[in-house]
Each structure stands twice: as structure tokens, then as C-alpha cells.
Amino acid sequence: MFINKGSTMNLTCIVHHSPEPPPAIYWTHNEEEINYDSPRGGVSVITEKGDVTTSYLLIQRAKEPDSGKYTCNPSNANPETVVVHVLNGEHPAAMQHGGQLRLEYPFFVVLFSFLVALLGLGG
């Protein structure tokens, strides 16, 4: 994902079809847990729990050091990762002007489909 320097980055992590909402969702940047109270400022997370749990990582005024690997790690699901490139004036074809990404977790559907396939083979 490519975004412009100075843009607001919105990484959205969606967990659905889960037996229960994840107790916690952790965000990391380059393998380190994100500190929302860091001196950098402008970094926040909003999480809405329910049948579908959504976590938004918001980074205001994106800077080149904000480039890197971001991982959404729900406590009851597998993590999902995206690589973000903050650009200073370059314009690649894949530029994201809004800086928004959605990471979705349909792991319960995958598990259910696998079980149905196994039961179908057994009968």
C-alpha cells in the first residue's frame, strides 16, 4: 500500500464469523507493539466489538518512518499483515490517496468449509 506523506492512514481490521469477539486486538509496526502514547503523537486505535469486530488504526500526518509492516493480531485469530510505503512526492500506479486498508478474518467460514468437505468425503 502506498500513501502520500502528510496523509492520514486508516488501517481497518475486521474479524467476523468468529464464535465470540476477540478479547483484544493488538497492532504492531515492524514487529513492535504500537505505543499510542508515544512522543510521535497522532496515533490512535478505535475498536468496536460485536458479531463483527472492527479495529481502526489511525495515523495522522504520515511520515516516511511510518513506512513498514503493520500487523493486526486478534487474540483469538491469526494475524494479518500489510506493508505500507509513505512516499514523498512519488506517484506509483498503486497510490492510495485515502490511506485506508481493510484486513478481514473469515476464519470461522474457512474452518466450517473444511469440516463440511471432510464430512462429505466420509459419506
> 89 or 104, which is more confident?
89
What does the pLDDT read at residue 90? 65
Contacts of 18 (CB under 8 A, 6+ apart): 53, 76, 77, 105, 107, 108
The dihedral through the CA atoms of 106, 46, 85, 65 has a sign that is negative
Task: Find where cell 497510490 sits.
Answer: 95
User: Residue 105 burial (CB < 10 Å; 0-12/13-18/19+)?
Assistant: buried
- pTM to 2 decimal places: 0.73
Instruction: Give me the residues paired with residue 44 across strands.
Output: 58
> 37 or 18, which is more confident?
37
Among 4-8, 13-17, 112-116, the minimum mean pLDDT is found in: 112-116
Q: How many residues does the chain have?
A: 123
